[in-house]
Amino acid sequence: MDESSKSYEKVPSGIPGFDDLVAGGFHRRTVNTVTGASGTGKTVFASQFIYEGIKNGEKGMIIMPSESAEYLKREMYSSFKWDFWKLEEEGKLVMVDVTDPVLRLQKSIETDPVDFLINFRKLVDKKVREEKPQRVLIDDLMAFFTAIESPFVMRSLADDLFGDLRSTGVTAMITIGAAFGMTQIMEYGADSCTILKRERIGNNMVRSIYIMKMRGSRISNSIRVLDISDDGMAVSTLAPYP
């Protein structure tokens, strides 16, 4: 085995300041989670990752299993002028959302949660192999897992999905809501875990970010302020705490 094949190739995140925390970016062909409560910036972070890839010539795919992609497109354009409609028309971005016939059918009938997630995994694998993107975002996955009572089954289903994504060669980003108390199961099987928070410090609401893990990479142990401006998201050199 040659030397170049023994280590991961780095993929720039597109979030200024973030790659300094993880020695250059995410690893290619890995599954990466972004966890946080509502309003912490998970979807912006992950969408910026997809947008950066498209700017660098990498096709992107965004999968939204619980809502219409139109909401995301409007949010990103209104906030940052990222025109996902145009990128779709140009074939640089593929959107798969709840209006997809397979997802709509499964959500409209009484389907066992395990069967639904198995069918969802098959749908993701089929779409990725057909469209051949280099970067994939699934936003948000946790809503489906709340109906599964067994942690073992949940872990097995997550591992199967993550394994399928790695086998296709994509670099995947999965957002996870922190409100359901089951994030550890998803994070355990991921190659990297980024944690976003939003809390009151004095009289200000401050967003923060830290890296919980990244397999095969040196990471910073510091917590940083996370800023959102008209240009998108950026990691500050400042710490949120005195």
User: Who's near 227: CB < 8 A, 6+ residues apart?
Assistant: 207, 233, 234, 235, 236
State residue 108's pLDDT score. 52
State residue 5's pLDDT score. 59
Tens digits of pLDDT across the chain (242 residues): 555 556 778 999 999 999 999 999 999 999 999 999 888 999 999 999 999 999 999 999 999 887 889 999 999 999 999 999 999 999 999 999 877 766 655 555 566 778 878 888 888 999 999 999 999 999 977 766 776 777 788 888 889 999 999 999 999 999 988 765 667 777 888 999 999 999 888 888 899 999 999 998 899 999 999 999 999 999 999 988 77
Q: How far apart are CA 170 and CA 130, in angstroms?
A: 13
Residue 115 CB neighbour total at 10 angstroms = 10
State residue 201's pLDDT score. 82
User: Who's near 78: CB < 8 A, 6+ residues apart?
Assistant: none
Q: Torsion angle, CA of 110/62/84/179, rounded to 10 degrees?
A: 70
Give the largest Cα separation in the chain, rounded: 56
Q: How far apart are CA 83 and CA 81, in angstroms?
A: 6
Whole-structure pTM value: 0.91
Beta strand spans in the chain (E)? 10-11, 26-27, 31-36, 60-64, 93-97, 135-138, 171-177, 192-201, 204-214, 224-229, 232-235
* Contact between residue 241 and residue 210 where contact means Cβ atoms under 8 Å apart: no
